[in-house]
């Protein structure tokens, strides 16, 4: 007797707990799972090798979890998304798929891809059901009184708070184990990902793997540890790059090892799931989660940010400097500004950079060097394990004063002042700029300031911070 199956297409959501598409599919009938790997598409999107390697390791964990649920997982390499409609046409015929389920992805290319596949499935009288799973609230559901999307974070946050007062979004349970399904995947050229994983691992041999374990249970333990041990001090500690004061969950949220709903539920566990803010740390982390939410909604409502365009169109005319040598010094952490160099080197060495330092590095490139923020945005995406289009673009456009609710163009971080304030003892600088490790904490932030004759194996500042700040203000003022 032949069976028809439900198909769950996993994308940036490699988990079995609190997974909307997985839950709904398995409630409907016997289910199969699919993961499509698209190396050429990843390259076009500037996905970092460390992020892809992390994804592939988590994919192996997901396969083990699905095996325990008797859900067969088909893994296919389809280099480019334009080939997906033909692939689905063949797949649905061979496996007698009734419906396809997936969680929505919000980038312009992803939405177009899904629209094309929707048309293909409709021609075959099949359903393609998409769920809002990456955000707390469905995109297009948070609107102002004019029924327009918010462009200012404060107003967006206020509406989110009002929605949360009515109840926190609930998590989906993991599905029950289903009866075993026997399928002959040999007809479909099932992919062994070990060679692909080996190829990406070779690209990042210099990076410290031990910092990035995979698995839902590990992500849960990180979340619990953060709530129990670091939340109380989060408001202050999150800005100190030398201490472990942040949740370290961004990479896990990005590929969906853990969900945003799970984070919110954990945050209000002591209040038994009720929206009652009882500490500064709790409110500060909630606001950080909502900044993430805000940029996801911006990505959907203002598709130009997916197309390398500034949110504020008038800033398109800014006369950015074309200086490949200066750009490379910034990329390699050789600017002569210790806090900037520490951040850039941390990213190259680990695939991650502290958020406060990301802002300092981004503003130094876009303001003090007056180099197009898009070059920095691309470099970050190519190296960050948590590289997310919405958050990365939002952060860069905020720092460059081209984005929604961005910092005013005349507000330019002084990286030395930032360094003295948030890394007062120079501990972070010493870790990532060892040439300066022996310097006293009073001079480590600006080693040549009082002694130009000081001999160090470290470059002198590539720009004068005051003059470059004025240059940036003039460039923005004229547009």
Q: How far lies 353's CA from each of 125, 241, 322, 432, 463, in Å? A: 47, 9, 25, 11, 23
> Would you call 288 a catalytic residue per the annotation?
yes
- Do residues 246 and 354 touch, judged by C-beta distance below 8 A? yes
How far, in Å, CA of 459 to CA of 329, rounded?
10
d(CA 430, CA 426): 6
What totals of helices (H) and strands (E) does the chain contain, helices first?
20, 5
Radius of gyration of the chain (CA): 24
CA atoms of 350 and 377, how far apart (whole Å): 18
Q: What token pair was written down for 202?
A: 């070779």
Q: According to the annotation, is 446 in a ligand binding site?
A: no
Residue 91 annotated as binding?
Answer: no
Catalytic annotation, pick one of 42, 320, 414, 435: 320
- C-alpha–C-alpha distance, residues 467 and 418, integer Å: 18
Q: How far apart are CA 354 and CA 243, in angstroms?
A: 10
Q: Is 167 one of the annotated binding-site residues?
A: no
Look up 330 and say whether it is catalytic: no
Strand order of the sheet with strand 73-77?
A: 73-77, 31-37, 5-10, 97-103, 127-131
Q: Within a 10 A sphere around the Cβ of 187, how many other Cβ atoms? A: 10
Ligand-binding site membership of 291 (annotated): yes
396 is catalytic: yes
> How far does Cα 366 stand from its chain's mean position?
21
373 is known as an active-site residue: yes
The answer to the question of whether 386 is labelled as a binding residue is: yes
Q: Is 127 part of the annotated catalytic residue set?
A: no
DSSP H or E stretch at residue 386: none
- As a whole number of angstroms, the distance between CA 450 and CA 181 comes to 73
State how beta strands 97-103 and 127-131 pair. Answer: parallel
Residue 292, marked binder = yes
Give DSSP secondary structure letters for 125-177: T-EEEEE--SSSS-TT--B-TTS-B--SHHHHHHHHHHHHHT-PPPPPPPPPP
Residue of 379, 396, 398, 432 marked catalytic: 396
Work out the burial of residue 182: count CB atoms within 10 Å of its CB; fewer than 13 is exposed, 13-18 middle, 19 or more buried.
exposed
Q: Is 249 annotated as a binding residue?
A: yes
289 is in an annotated binding site: yes
The answer to the question of whether 212 is labelled as a binding residue is no
User: Cα separation of 11 and 103, whole Å?
Assistant: 8
Beta bridge partners of 214: none
Q: Check whether 388 is labelled as a binding-site residue.
A: yes
Query: Catalytic pick from 280, 288, 414, 435?
Result: 288
Rounded-to-integer distance, Cα 450 and Cα 440, Å: 13
Q: Residue 267, annotated ligand binder?
A: no
Active-site option among 23, 330, 373, 398: 373
Tell me if residue 352 is catalytic: no
Helix (H) or strand (E) holding 6: strand 5-10
Q: Report angle CA 376, 341, 374 to the nearest 5 degrees.
A: 5
Residues ≥6 apart with Cβ < 8 Å to 365: 327, 330, 371, 373, 375, 376
Q: Is 295 annotated as a binding residue?
A: yes
Known binding positions: 234, 246-250, 285, 288-295, 386-388
**Residues identified as active-site:** 288, 291, 320, 355, 373, 396
Known binding positions for FAD: 234, 246-250, 285, 288-295, 386-388
């Amino acid at each position: 007797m032949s069976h028809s199956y439900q198909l769950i297409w996993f994308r940036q959501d490699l988990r079995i707990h609190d997974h909307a598409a997985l839950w709904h599919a398995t409630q409907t009938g016997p289910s199969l799972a699919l993961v499509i790997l698209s190396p050429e598409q990843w390259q076009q999107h500037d996905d970092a090798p460390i992020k892809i390697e992390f994804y592939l390791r988590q994919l192996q964990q997901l396969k083990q979890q699905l095996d325990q649920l008797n859900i067969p997982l088909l893994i296919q390499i389809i280099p480019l998304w334009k080939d997906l409609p033909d692939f689905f046409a063949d797949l649905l015929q061979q496996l007698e798929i009734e419906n396809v389920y997936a969680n929505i992805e919000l980038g312009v290319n992803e939405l177009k891809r899904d629209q094309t596949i929707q048309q293909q499935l409709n021609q075959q009288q099949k359903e393609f059901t998409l769920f809002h799973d990456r955000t707390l609230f469905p995109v297009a559901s948070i609107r102002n009184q004019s029924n327009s999307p918010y462009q200012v974070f404060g107003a967006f946050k206020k509406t989110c708070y009002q929605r949360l007062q009515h109840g926190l979004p609930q998590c989906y349970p993991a599905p029950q184990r289903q009866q075993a399904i026997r399928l002959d995947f040999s007809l479909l050229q099932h992919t062994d990902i070990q060679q692909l994983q080996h190829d990406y691992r070779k690209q990042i041999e210099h990076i410290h793997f031990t910092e990035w374990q995979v698995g839902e249970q590990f992500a849960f333990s990180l979340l619990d540890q953060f709530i129990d041990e670091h939340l109380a001090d989060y408001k202050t500690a999150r800005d100190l790059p030398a201490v472990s004061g942040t949740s370290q969950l961004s990479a896990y949220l990005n590929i969906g090892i853990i969900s945003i709903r799970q984070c919110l539920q954990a945050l209000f566990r002591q209040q038994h799931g009720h929206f009652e803010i009882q500490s500064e740390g709790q409110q500060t982390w909630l606001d950080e989660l909502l900044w993430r939410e805000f940029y996801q909604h911006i990505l959907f409502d203002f598709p130009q940010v997916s197309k390398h365009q500034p949110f504020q169109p008038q800033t398109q005319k800014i006369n950015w400097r074309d200086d490949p040598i200066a750009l490379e010094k910034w990329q390699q952490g050789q600017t002569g500004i210790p806090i900037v160099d520490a951040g850039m080197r941390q990213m190259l060495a680990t695939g991650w950079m502290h958020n406060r330092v990301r802002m300092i590095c981004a503003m130094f490139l876009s303001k003090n060097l007056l180099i197009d923020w898009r070059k920095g945005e691309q470099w970050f995406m190519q190296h960050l394990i948590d590289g997310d289009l919405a958050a990365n673009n939002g952060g860069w456009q905020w720092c460059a004063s081209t984005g929604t609710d961005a910092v005013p163009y005349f507000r330019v971080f002084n990286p030395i002042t930032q360094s003295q304030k948030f890394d007062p003892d120079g501990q972070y600088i010493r870790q990532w700029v060892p040439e300066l490790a022996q310097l006293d904490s009073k001079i480590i932030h600006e080693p040549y300031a009082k002694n130009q004759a000081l001999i160090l194996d470290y470059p002198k500042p590539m720009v004068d911070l005051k003059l470059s700040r004025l240059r940036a203000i003039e460039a923005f003022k004229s547009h």
